[in-house]
């Protein structure tokens, strides 16, 4: 179980001590409820109709990341990182080039009636470009709000490190589209640097709008012998002020604080990409990510549950095992996340993950089924029915 016990003030006589004890006992009660809860009953199925939307033979032929958000009027935005442009012939990719990001607009939330349009579909120009021409952008999560579309962008640049990790994070940006109802080619786009973003601390892994606040999930990175371990952090901003960084507060030990350096880890050992969504059938928040992130041993997608959006979170619950990695040890899976906006019933959650070659070979060229979103649907059982 991963959770942080709230820190109490120094022991003092009288009511201060009583208040501290009650607060501590209250957290222990919530912690014990999470610890004692049984894992939800669920079944998982693949979604070949959804995967067919992304099985392209010309133009856009693959991309990772695969964040999504609802734009309204039955339109959905997909955001991708490194994107392969070219053609697919006899199940093999013939690549014209690769761009660092792309988007797609999906019309309708359920195939076969749904359709999708990619940008760029054949050109070698990324959709998002730094104004100064320095490095490139990888998109994180996005959210349509009454003030327009907000999206998080990671700016990176190349390094001398060996592939596939020959890059470093330069900064993090909050982008804004004031007219997301228009075609993407007509979007009026601006962006602002997030003042607290650095190589160790990134916001934008997922964003929720709930009550009177936006909740912005992020990660802090910890260097360990085996590589990097990510831990979840959380910020919030009042409605209408997501772009006002002075309004952001950060969660720590049950309180919201103004100093980002005091942001507490609310869930340990997650991934850099994940999703958090409320599952009404369970009356719980569901966290989805790939266990062990992007590594040669990453095969499993897991869930964690919490009664609140800031934890405490349950132990990881295995959700699925990536079949591509089971068939070929050179394949790793990553970028697992949920897409609650395209679900059709309150008891389901649609997931995606990416299967990729993890040893630097060219298997993504010889197998066009790799390096595009793979879709799963989780059906949760009603906990009140046995």
pLDDT single digits (tens) 140-159: 999 999 999 999 999 999 88
H or E stretch covering 45? strand 42-46
Question: Burial, 255: exposed, middle or buried (Cβ in 10 Å; 0-12, 13-18, 19+)?
Answer: exposed
Rounded-to-integer distance, Cα 335 and Cα 368, Å: 18
Domain ranges within the chain, ordered by starting residue: 10-39, 40-380
Rounded-to-integer distance, Cα 263 and Cα 257, Å: 7
CB atoms within 10 A of CB 146: 7
Rounded-to-integer distance, Cα 263 and Cα 245, Å: 15
Token pair for 162: 């060996």
What mean pLDDT is predicted for residues 2-15? 36
CATH of domain 40-380: 2.115.10.20
Beta partners for 235? Answer: 216, 250
What mean pLDDT is predicted for residues 187-194? 97
For residue 124, pLDDT beyond 80: yes
pLDDT single digits (tens) 307-365: 999 999 999 999 999 999 999 988 999 999 999 999 988 899 999 999 998 876 678 99
pTM beyond 0.75, yes or no? yes
Band (282; pLDDT cuts 50, 70, 90): very high
Q: Are 85 and 124 in contact (CB under 8 A)?
A: yes
Rounded-to-integer distance, Cα 65 and Cα 138, Å: 8
For residue 305, pLDDT beyond 90: yes
Rounded-to-integer distance, Cα 81 and Cα 67, Å: 9
For 296, what's the count of Cα atoms within 13 Å in the CB-facing half-sphere? 8
For residue 5, pLDDT beyond 60: no
Listed range (36-50, 61-75, 188-202) with the worst mean pLDDT: 36-50
Question: Burial, 226: exposed, middle or buried (Cβ in 10 Å; 0-12, 13-18, 19+)?
Answer: exposed
Task: Give the 3-state secondary structure of residue 264.
Answer: coil
Higher-scoring residue by pLDDT: 131, 7: 131
For residue 4, pLDDT beyond 70: no
């Amino acid at each position: 179980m991963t959770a942080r016990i709230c820190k109490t003030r120094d022991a003092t006589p009288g009511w201060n001590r009583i208040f501290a004890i009650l607060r501590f006992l209250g957290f222990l009660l919530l912690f014990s409820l999470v610890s004692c809860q049984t894992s939800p009953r669920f079944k998982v199925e693949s979604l070949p109709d959804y995967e067919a939307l992304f099985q392209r033979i010309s133009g856009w032929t693959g991309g990772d990341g695969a964040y999504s958000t609802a734009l309204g009027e039955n339109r959905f935005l997909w955001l991708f990182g490194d994107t392969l442009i070219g053609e697919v012939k006899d199940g093999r990719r013939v690549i014209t080039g690769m761009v660092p990001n792309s988007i797609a607009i999906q019309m309708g939330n359920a195939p076969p009636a749904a359709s999708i349009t990619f940008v760029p579909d054949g050109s070698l120009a990324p959709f998002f470009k730094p104004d100064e021409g320095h490095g490139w952008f990888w998109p994180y999560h996005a959210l349509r709000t009454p003030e327009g579309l907000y999206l998080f962008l990671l700016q990176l640049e190349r390094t001398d490190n060996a592939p596939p990790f020959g890059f470093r994070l330069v900064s993090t940006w909050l982008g804004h589209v004031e007219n997301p109802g228009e075609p993407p080619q007509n979007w009026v786009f601006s962006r602002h640097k997030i003042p607290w973003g650095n190589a160790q601390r990134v916001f934008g892994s997922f964003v929720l709008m709930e009550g009177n606040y936006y909740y912005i999930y992020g990660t802090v990175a910890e260097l360990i012998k085996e590589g990097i371990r990510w831990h979840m952090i959380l910020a919030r901003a009042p409605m209408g002020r997501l772009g006002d960084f002075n309004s952001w507060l950060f969660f720590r030990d049950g309180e919201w604080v103004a100093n980002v350096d005091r942001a507490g880890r609310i869930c340990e050992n997650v991934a850099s990409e994940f999703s958090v969504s409320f599952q009404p059938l369970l009356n719980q928040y569901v966290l989805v990510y790939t266990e062990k992130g992007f590594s040669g041993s990453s095969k499993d997608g897991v869930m964690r549950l919490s009664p609140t959006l800031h934890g405490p979170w349950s132990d990881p619950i295995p959700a699925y095992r990536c079949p591509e990695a089971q068939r070929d040890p050179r394949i790793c899976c990553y970028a697992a996340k949920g897409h609650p906006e395209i679900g059709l019933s309150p008891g389901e959650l649609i997931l995606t993950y990416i299967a990729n070659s993890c040893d630097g070979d060219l298997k993504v060229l010889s197998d066009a089924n790799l390096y595009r979103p793979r879709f799963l649907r989780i059906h949760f059982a009603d906990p009140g029915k046995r």
